[in-house]
Amino acid sequence: MQIYPIKFDPILKEKPWGGSKLNTLLHKKASDQPIGESWEISGLQGDETLVNNGRYRDRTLSSLIAQFGQELLGEKNYKRFGNEFPLLIKFLDAQSNLSVQVHPDDTMAKALHNAKGKTEMWYVVDHEKDAEIIVGLDKTIHSTRVLADITKQNVYDVFNVEQVCKGDVYFIPAGEVHAIGAGVLAAEIQQTSDITYRVYDWDRVDAQGQKRALHIPQSIAATKQTHNTAKKKYANSGNGSTEVVSCPYFTTNVLAVNSTLERQYDTLDSFVILMCVEGEATITVHDQQEKIEMGTSILLPAQALQATFTSSKARFLEVYINSSM
């Protein structure tokens, strides 16, 4: 396999809660419609991203895995996931509140959908004043039966609501109720799954006056983490890497680059994803260079054993799978 920083054409998704920041701040080629999600790297059937640079231009991610297997994913990852890419990488722009929702774990998703569950994390790229998120139930709530009776009048009493700051990281395991609030621009890293159970959708209606479906019985059955502390504390590094999330599905570091930084990946046995969430940088891998700017995501094959970053100021999410967990 030729080793270089692989870039993809994102898939842009219209959402009733979406806005324009994916275009204006992250330079996506979006339409005038409200765009809520940019799927940066996806192997999900029906929504596969295409390579837009280098030797593998116009190839799907799945076709690369089918040809190169462990050279791309890593030996243990390939044994574990086969030809399925295990992560889905997104940017989200919430002009209005996302639905309050919950995702099933692997066991429930397998039984009901023959699919994977959805554990995820958010990194707050930008936000408007007083922007909030919902993570878990309020500490006074001790029964998931309350999810059957959410209204405009009680929604802020039932859920734990937190104001966000730029750079905040939230880890959302499968089974935790959550929602990104209006004014938040976030990077999202998740298992490859598109299963969502909606608990409450703010009484929104479409152009035909119809509300989106809710999934109350499934939501009650799926909710496991009622009062989990989702926010992850970390210290910013001046020129280096800081681990912020580590779970069996992915490990994410915040990588700050303020000059030249070399990263060694020879012991990972995993692909590496880099999401630029601030500034811009040049990345050199096997003498192949790519410029990456805020809003750009790249994939380094598992055979990329080292990368050099050069920037006066940039920040990345550095994502891989720790196969020892």
Summarize pLDDT for 207-244 with one digit per residue, the tens. Answer: 888 999 999 999 999 999 788 778 999 987 788 999 99
pLDDT over 90, % of the chain? 92
As a three-state string, the secondary structure of 283-325 is EEECCEEEEEECCCEEEECCCCCEEEEECCCEEEEEEECCCCC
Can you give the residue ranges of every domain in the chain?
A: 6-232, 240-320
Q: What is the mean pLDDT of the chain?
A: 95
CATH superfamily of 240-320: Jelly Rolls (2.60.120.10)
pLDDT at site 229: 76
- Cα distance between residue 192 and residue 115, in whole Å: 9
198 is catalytic: yes
**Residues 251, 322: contact at Cβ < 8 Å?**
yes
- Cα distance between residue 49 and residue 62, in whole Å: 9
Report domain 6-232's class. mainly beta
Which of 50-54, 65-69, 138-142, 317-321 is predicted least confidently? 138-142
pLDDT at site 321: 98
Which residue of the set 55, 57, 80, 198 is catalytic? 198
- Cα distance between residue 132 and residue 52, in whole Å: 35
- Cα distance between residue 281 and residue 284, in whole Å: 10
CA geometry: angle 109, 111, 113, nearest 5 deg: 55
pLDDT of residue 31 exceeding 80: no
pTM of the model: 0.96
pLDDT of residue 17 exceeding 80: yes
Q: Cβ atoms within 10 A of the Cβ of 28, count?
A: 19
What is the spatial order of strands in the sheet that 159-163 belongs to?
Answer: 159-163, 132-137, 178-180, 100-102, 197-200
**Residues 191, 118: contact at Cβ < 8 Å?**
yes
**Residues 28, 129: contact at Cβ < 8 Å?**
no
The mean pLDDT of 282-310, rounded to a whole number, is 96
The tokens 């280098």 sit on which residue?
A: 54
154: left (phi over 0), alpha (psi -120 to 50) or beta: alpha
